[in-house]
A and B are shown apart, each in its own frame.
Chain A
Amino acid sequence: MLFVDIRKQFRTAGSPPFHLDVRETFAPGFTVLFGPSGAGKSTLLDCISGLLRPDAGVIKFNDEYFFNAARRFSLPAQMRRIAYVFQSLALFPHLSVEENVAYGLSAFPSPERQERVERILPAFHIEALRRRKPGELSGGEKQRVALARSLVTQPQLLLLDEPLTGLDAALRQAILQDLRAWNAAERIPILYVTHNREEVDAIGERVVALVNGRVQESGAPRAVLDAPRSVALAQAAGFENFLDGHVVEQRPADGVMRVVLASANCELEIPLGTVPPGAAVQVAIRAGDILLATEAPRALSARNVLPGTLDALEPRGSLVVAQVTAGARFIVHLTPGAVRSLQLVPGLRVWLVLKTHSCHVVLP
Chain B
Amino acid sequence: MNLDALLLSFRLAAVVSAILLMLALPLAYWLAFTHWRGKFLLESVVALPLVLPPTVLGFYALIALGPRGPLGRLWQFLFGHTLAFTFAGLVIASLVYSLPFAVQPLIASFESLDRRLLDASSILGASRLRTFFRIIVPLSWPGLITAVVLSFAHTLGEFGVVLMVGGNLPGITRTVSIDIYDRVQALDFAAANHTALLLLGISFIVLAVVYGMNRRVWSPWLAK
Q: Check if B139 sits within 8 Å of A106, measured CB to CB.
A: no
Contact of B44 with A by CB under 8 A: no
Contact with A along B206-224 (1 / 0, CB 8 A): 0000000000000011111
Report how far A94 CA is from B137 CA in the complex, Å: 11
Give residues 87-131 of A contacting B (CB, 8 Å): 88, 90, 92-94, 103-104, 106-107
Which of the 9-residue segments A75-83, A170-178, A212-220, A303-311 touches chain B? A75-83
Report how far A77 CA is from B220 CA in the complex, Å: 31
Contact of B193 with A by CB under 8 A: no
**CB within 8 A of B123: which of A51, A92, A106, A136?**
A51
Q: How far is the CB of B217 from chain A (nearest CB, A)?
A: 15
Give residues 149-182 of A contacting B (CB, 8 Å): 149-150, 153
Q: Check if B126 sits within 8 Å of A135, measured CB to CB.
A: no
Q: Check if A153 sits within 8 Å of B125, measured CB to CB.
A: yes
Contact of B108 with A by CB under 8 A: no
Q: Check if B126 sits within 8 Å of A82, measured CB to CB.
A: no
Chain A residues with CB under 8 Å of B124's CB are 103-104, 149-150, 153
Known A-B contacts A51-B119, A86-B120, A103-B121; the reply to A93 vs B221 at CB < 8 A is yes
Known A-B contacts A135-B221, A135-B222; the reply to A90 vs B114 at CB < 8 A is yes
Report how far A84 CA is from B124 CA in the complex, Å: 9
Contact of A49 with B by CB under 8 A: yes
Q: Check if A94 sits within 8 Å of B139, measured CB to CB.
A: yes
Q: Check if B139 sits within 8 Å of A86, measured CB to CB.
A: no
Give residues 127-180 of B contacting A (CB, 8 Å): 127, 130, 134-135, 138-139
Contact of A133 with B by CB under 8 A: yes
Contact of B37 with A by CB under 8 A: no
Report how far A76 CA is from B134 CA in the complex, Å: 19
Known A-B contacts A78-B127, A106-B130, A135-B221; the reply to A90 vs B116 at CB < 8 A is yes
Chain B residues with CB under 8 Å of A50's CB are 122-123
Report how far A344 CA is from B91 CA in the complex, Å: 86
Report how far A138 CA is from B112 CA in the complex, Å: 24
Q: Check if B123 sits within 8 Å of A77, measured CB to CB.
A: yes
Contact of B202 with A by CB under 8 A: no
Contact of B117 with A by CB under 8 A: yes
Known A-B contacts A88-B114, A88-B116; the reply to A77 vs B122 at CB < 8 A is yes
Chain B residues with CB under 8 Å of A49's CB are 123
Chain A residues with CB under 8 Å of B135's CB are 92
Q: How far is the CB of A138 from chain B (nearest CB, A)?
A: 11
Report how far A265 CA is from B82 CA in the complex, Å: 97
Known A-B contacts A90-B114, A135-B223; the reply to A83 vs B123 at CB < 8 A is yes
Q: How far is the CB of B17 from chain A (nearest CB, A)?
A: 24
Q: How many residues of B contact A (CB 8 A)?
A: 22
Report how far A78 CA is from B128 CA in the complex, Å: 10
Known A-B contacts A86-B116, A90-B114; the reply to A78 vs B122 at CB < 8 A is yes
Report how far A106 CA is from B121 CA in the complex, Å: 11
Known A-B contacts A49-B123, A103-B126; the reply to A90 vs B223 at CB < 8 A is no
Q: Check if B126 sits within 8 Å of A90, measured CB to CB.
A: no
Q: Check if A93 sits within 8 Å of B119, measured CB to CB.
A: no
Taking CB as reference atom, which chain B residue is nearest A155? B123
Report how far A83 CA is from B119 CA in the complex, Å: 11
Taking CB as reference atom, which chain A residue is nearest B131? A78
Chain B residues with CB under 8 Å of A83's CB are 123
Chain B residues with CB under 8 Å of A84's CB are 119-120, 123
**CB within 8 A of B223: which of A76, A77, A88, A136?**
A136
Q: How far is the CB of B8 from chain A (nearest CB, A)?
A: 38
**CB within 8 A of B126: which of A78, A93, A94, A149?**
A78
Report how far A149 CA is from B120 CA in the complex, Å: 10
Chain B residues with CB under 8 Å of A88's CB are 114, 116
Report how far A107 CA is from B127 CA in the complex, Å: 11
A50, A51, A90 — which one has the most chain B CB atoms within 10 A of its CB? A90
Report how far A49 CA is from B127 CA in the complex, Å: 15
B123, B135, B220 — which one has the most chain A CB atoms within 10 A of its CB? B123
Report how far A76 CA is from B131 CA in the complex, Å: 14
Chain B residues with CB under 8 Å of A82's CB are 123
Report how far A88 CA is from B119 CA in the complex, Å: 12
Q: How far is the CB of A321 from chain B (nearest CB, A)?
A: 37
Chain B residues with CB under 8 Å of A103's CB are 121, 124, 126, 134
17 A-B pairs within 8 Å (CB atoms) are namely: A50-B122, A51-B123, A76-B122, A77-B123, A82-B123, A86-B116, A88-B114, A88-B116, A90-B114, A90-B117, A93-B221, A94-B220, A103-B124, A135-B222, A135-B223, A150-B123, A150-B124
Known: A90-B117, A106-B130, A135-B221. 16 other contacts (CB 8 A): A50-B122, A51-B122, A51-B123, A77-B119, A78-B122, A78-B126, A82-B123, A84-B120, A86-B119, A90-B119, A92-B135, A94-B138, A94-B139, A104-B124, A106-B125, A135-B224
Across the A-B interface, give the 8 residue pairs with the lowest CB-CB distance, nearest first: A104-B124, A135-B223, A90-B120, A90-B116, A77-B122, A84-B123, A94-B138, A94-B221
Residues of A that sit less than 8 Å from B by CB: 49-51, 76-79, 82-84, 86, 88, 90, 92-94, 103-104, 106-107, 133, 135-136, 149-150, 153
